[in-house]
Structure 1
Amino acid sequence: MLNRRGALAAFVTGVLGSLAARKAEAAPVDKSQITPPDPTEVIALWPDGAPGGEGVSVEEKIVERGDAKGLKDRAQVHTRKPKLVVFRPRKPNGAAVMLIPGGGYERVVLDKEGYETARWLNARGYTCFVLFYRMPGDGWAAGGDAPLQDAQRGIRLVRAKAAEMGFAADRVAIMGFSAGGHLAANLTVRFDAPAYAPIDAADQLPAKPNLSALMYPVISMDPAIAHAGSRKQLLTADASPGHALELSPEKQVREGLSPVFQVHAADDKTVPVENSLMMFAALKAKAVPAELHVFEEGGHGFGLRFVTGKPVAAWPTLFETFAKRHGL
């Protein structure tokens, strides 16, 4: 009798275990917990090497910075070979965005401000290009303008790919974060500065963005409100008042610039909100179409990863609305 009961118990346990295993196999996978593979399509900015690199000896590498949620949080340091990493949407909407991640002009943050935002925009039809730009303190001859060389060259190459990739060359936006926001602002106001000598047909294309998004951007080189780290890197070779003025986008605003969308958190302790306030005031004074959203809470460097439950969670939809209103 006991043997029968034991066998029956074992049989039931086995059946239940088998059912549980099948249920586990059939359960849908939580795709939000899986990091998609990196894209493989890359466009080199400078086929024969970036200009002014004779005195550069640093070596580029990617480092994992760690993330509390266990997500990838990589950064590239000492960029030697500037490039665009391409994200193609399944259903192109006819517009493109060049993303410029931050990193204090010491690194390029890959995931949080580059790849994650590119995937979000991809889902809405935007063809995206993440820009890996050079650091001004690495010995490049152009110093603080080395990143601007890469940004100008980058947007021209994006336009050169428009017909092939299914978007319009006159529907190209840029979106920069933190120090990348400074580079985006610098490109917005100095798109026509002769930052480098043309090397091919792509350099005959305009570098003026059709729309700019500045996310918690570094803007001013005024020590009172500047991000000290970015200022130090940009002005390493030349901290003269004239150079500092040239690299302060709020001082370079003029009429006829493309529309500008801005986002900042009032509690940002890394890059004071005054940077965005001064930029917006300068744009308004020159009648440049502009929209600024200052949120009570959000801190710095939130991207898409750190917005849950905070007022700044609204920014992606606000950007999309602004972009569509202005033809993107």
Structure 2
Amino acid sequence: MLSRRTLLAALLASVAAPTAAFSPAADTIPLWPMGVPGAGAALPVEQVVERSKVAGHMDRAVSGIAAPRMVVFRPERPDGSAMLICPGGGYRRVVIDREGFEAARWLAVRGVTAFVLFYRLPAEGWTTGADTPLIDAQRAIRTIRARAGAFGLDPARIGVMGFSAGGHLAADLAARFALVAQPPVDAIDNLSARPLLAAPIYPVIAMDGPLAHAGSRERLIGADASAERARAHDPSANVPADAPPHILIHAEDDLAVPPGNSLRLREALKARGIAVETHLFETGGHGFGLAPGKPAGAWPELFIAFARAHGL
């Protein structure tokens, strides 16, 4: 018989599980092994909340990430390609299962080595502020590139995928991969952070006007941010001439992040002459992930076809 105290302890453990619950240490790569830059007076405390309403189907959200890292999903037969996956969560948390591990497993079955990014959240006291997630994403691409030999990867065949606010991060990386947001700390930081291609999935793009997702905007740049600051963190306003090809996925009935966000980025990419493929599904809402069994569930195969066409 379990005591009431034992049951309570088990419940608390499931709500605030330790980092090690995600993956064995051998499958986890710290981004900053010599110390995380940009720390404020106090580090956030990592918290994990299980939100699933379906038995046997995990849906964990992580906040307070003080040790940014990647969890690696290695295929049985790696084809030399890699994808960095940036889960969403409105820059308030990182939705690690539905928009991270599930996509990583799907890619690994198809030969792609997948790296799920646990990135720092910008409103949790980091001195680098709104650029904090971008700094981690840049470092992640560079770390994958630096370790390509160990994973049997072609360092030129590394892409990025992101969902919702993670889609913003993926698009931001594809736009500002060359930004020096902090001084280099080692030789890894001298490698290119440019991805071969980018796949923002129902992404937050706009930081102003009716298209903006209020929660992401507030936590990234502040509710009262100036027009100049909003523009600096809008990927559609910062597309460089050497941006990578993009595939954009959105649902027409997305009420949280309107599909106009993807269309705004598409227009900016087209204006720069950057290859872009866009798929708008009639239904799907927001946060559909892989969307198995639903019309929007066609997008992963569309992504694979796009990735093959562009060398991944």
TM-score normalised by length of structure 2: 0.90
* Runs of 4+ off more than 3 Å: none
Counterpart position of 1:181: 167
User: Are the aligned partners of 1:78 and 1:106 in contact in 2 as well (CA < 8 Å)?
Assistant: no
Q: Give runs of aligned pairs for residues 260-275 of structure 1, distance below 5 A.
A: 260-275=246-261
**Alpha-carbon separation, structure 1, partners of 2:22 and 2:130:** 30
Q: Is the 8 A contact 1:56 1:138 kept in 2?
A: no
Deviation, structure 1 residue 55: 2.8
Counterpart contact for 2:217–2:223, Cα < 8 Å: no
Within 1, Cα distance between the matches of 2:141 and 2:281? 30
Which one-letter code corresponds to 2:299 in the other structure?
Answer: W
Matched, 1:137 2:123: yes
**Distance in 1, Cα, partners of 2:90 & 2:110:** 29
Shift of 1:230: 0.1
> Do the aligned partners of 1:133 and 1:151 also contact (CA within 8 Å) in 2?
yes
Tell me, what secondary structure is at the counterpart of 2:304? helix
* Alignment partners' CA distance in 2, 1:39 and 1:62: 14
Indicate conservation of the 8 Å contact 1:143/1:237, yes or no.
no
Match of 1:326 in 2: 310
Match of 2:281 among 289, 292, 295: 295
2:123 partner SS: helix
Taking the aligned partners of 2:119 and 2:224, their CA distance within structure 1 comes to: 20
> CA–CA distance in 2 between the matches of 1:118 and 1:57?
29
2:122–2:129 Cα contact (<8 Å) kept: yes
Structure 1 segment 101-250 matched on structure 2, within 5 A: 101-236=87-222, 239-250=225-236
Match of 1:17 in 2: none
| Letter matched to residue 72 of structure 1 | M
| RMSD of Structure 2 on Structure 1 (CA) | 1.4
Q: Secondary structure at the match of 2:77?
A: coil
Matched, 1:81 2:62: no
Within 2, Cα distance between the matches of 1:89 and 1:70?
Answer: 23
Say if 2:214 and 2:223, in contact at 8 Å, map to a contact too. Answer: no
- Separation (CA, whole Å) in 1 of partners of 2:298 and 2:225: 38
Q: Which residue number in structure 2 is paired with residue 316 of structure 1?
A: 300
If the length of structure 1 is used for normalisation, what is the TM-score?
A: 0.86
Change beyond 3 A, Cα 1:69–1:300: farther
Per-residue CA shift, 1:132-169, capped at 9, x if unaligned?
00111101111110001100011100111111111100
Cα distance in 1 for residues equivalent to 2:196 and 2:224:
31
Cα distance in 2 for residues equivalent to 1:115 and 1:62: 15
Q: Provide the C-alpha distance between the structure 2 equivalents of 1:249 and 1:82, rounded to a whole number of angstroms.
A: 23
Displacement of 1:199: 1.3
Match for residue 15 of structure 2? none
Equivalent position amino acid for 2:252 in 1: A
Q: Distance in 2 between matches of 1:101 and 1:62?
A: 14
Q: Check whether the contact 2:40–2:126 (CA below 8 A) recurs between aligned residues.
A: yes
Percent identity at matched positions?
A: 51
Residue equivalent to 2:38 = 52
The offset of 1:177, in angstroms, is 0.3
Given that residues 205 and 261 in structure 2 are in contact (C-alpha distance below 8 angstroms), is that contact kept between their aligned partners in structure 1? Answer: yes
Displacement after TM superposition at 1:69 (Å): 5.3
Which structure 2 segments of 5+ residues have no match?
Answer: 1-20
Q: Answer yes or no: is the 8 Å Cα contact 2:205–2:234 preserved in 1.
A: yes
